[in-house]
Amino acid sequence: MSAAACPSRLGPTACRVFHLHPLQRCNLACLHCYSDSSPQATAQLSREQALQAIRLAARWGYGALSVSGGEPLLYPWLADCLQLARELGMSSAVVSNGWLIDRGEALQTLALADTVAVSVDGLSATHDALRGQPRAFGRVRAAMQRLRERQIPFAVSCGVTRGNVAELDALAAQVLEAGACALQLHPVELSGRAARELGGELLSAGEAEGFFVLAHLLAAEFEGRLTVRADVVHRDWVLSEPGLIYAGEDGPAQWAERTPAELLGVLVMTPQGELLPVCYGFAEPYAIGRPEGDAQALWAGYLHGGYPRLRRLGRQLHEQLQRDENLKGEGEVLPTVFNPSDLLARSSHAPLQ
């Protein structure tokens, strides 16, 4: 069955995830931050906003909660969010830079999550440069050690750039030694602070293809010891599985019979309280809105506005990928290897044809 025909496969992830960004404040101002988080940022959800959003996501069929930011360990009600997710039967993950892990009850709070994802963006010098802080790598190594001592399962998330792609093999070996269960590799995109600070460090189309091959080699090299995943797919897979970019041909009659999670693989809430599809950074015309009133009416309105627009965007991209395939490398517009979510988000800021 193709992704277009299978509601559970709509979107680039098979797991129906609610991504909660409860605050924009962070103790760091990393060069590659997609959300422009910093110590000066003030946007933050109230406790009730965050808990209401988690309850709504569970009612809509999302089985997993992922909390990031900003730095989620700065969010006063992180423990309440994780506890509620557990009560609702949702799995949970927290994405953290690891700097505040010994602050207050941080470790007790993280123990409520099923997984902690620690951000490590290369070896020592590279990681420190991206974080804008000396000795940052030492701090994150210490954080991984503390998680291991407390037997809290953790993975490592790495933003991939030209500056660290050659370090990924060594990085995988180091995070395996540190006790990580997985290494998630995500090419940094031209958004947020990265758009201003790292334009020359982002992977080119050709470098992305090389990274795609490297990631598969690393997955094979560390198989059985460390799960290595890359947030990129090849164009051929998307052409055969159009649901990965919401390019299926089903329409409103079928949508009305499905839950939100069956139609939208990833739901996002921003620190400003806005629900978005797919990933952080989607353009406003695709937004679902603020869940401050009748949630059923909110979703019904989305099915008549933003959701059809998302599906048209997916089909437009799928048609472009098909044209590029037929050109056989001559005059291609879209890359051969890409992150489906990032491609959708970037394309959402251009006019629909």
The full set of domain ranges for the chain reads 16-231, 239-263+293-347
Contacts of the segment 173-178: beta carbons below 8 A, 24+ positions apart? 174/123, 175/120, 175/144, 175/226, 176/222, 176/225, 176/226, 178/141, 178/144, 178/145, 178/148
Give the pLDDT band of residue 92 (cuts 50, 70, 90).
very high
Query: At 165, which amino acid appears?
Result: V
126 pLDDT higher than 90: yes
In 3D, which of 350, 34, 312 has the Cα closest to residue 192? 34
Mean pLDDT of 199-217: 93
pLDDT-derived band at 190 (thresholds 50, 70, 90) equals confident
Give how far Cα 148 sits from Cα of 94, 155, 228, 247, Å.
15, 11, 19, 42
- Split at pLDDT 50, 70, 90, the class of 6 is very low
Grouping H, G, I as helix, E, B as strand and the rest as coil, residue 241 is coil
- End-to-end CA, the chain: 29
Query: Which of 169, 201, 204 lies closest to 185 in space, CA to CA?
Result: 169
> In terms of pTM, does the model score above 0.85?
yes
Region of residue 19 (phi > 0: left; psi between -120 and 50: alpha; otherwise: beta): beta
- 282-294: average pLDDT: 93
**Which option is the CATH number for 16-231: 3.20.20.70, 3.40.50.12160, 3.40.50.450, 3.40.190.10?**
3.20.20.70
Cβ-Cβ contacts under 8 Å for 173 (sequence gap 6 or more)? none
Q: Average pLDDT of the chain?
A: 92
Q: Give the pLDDT band (50/70/90) at residue 9.
A: low
- Report percent pLDDT > 70 for the chain: 95
Residue 8 has a pLDDT of 40
Calpha distance 201→194 (Å, rounded)? 9
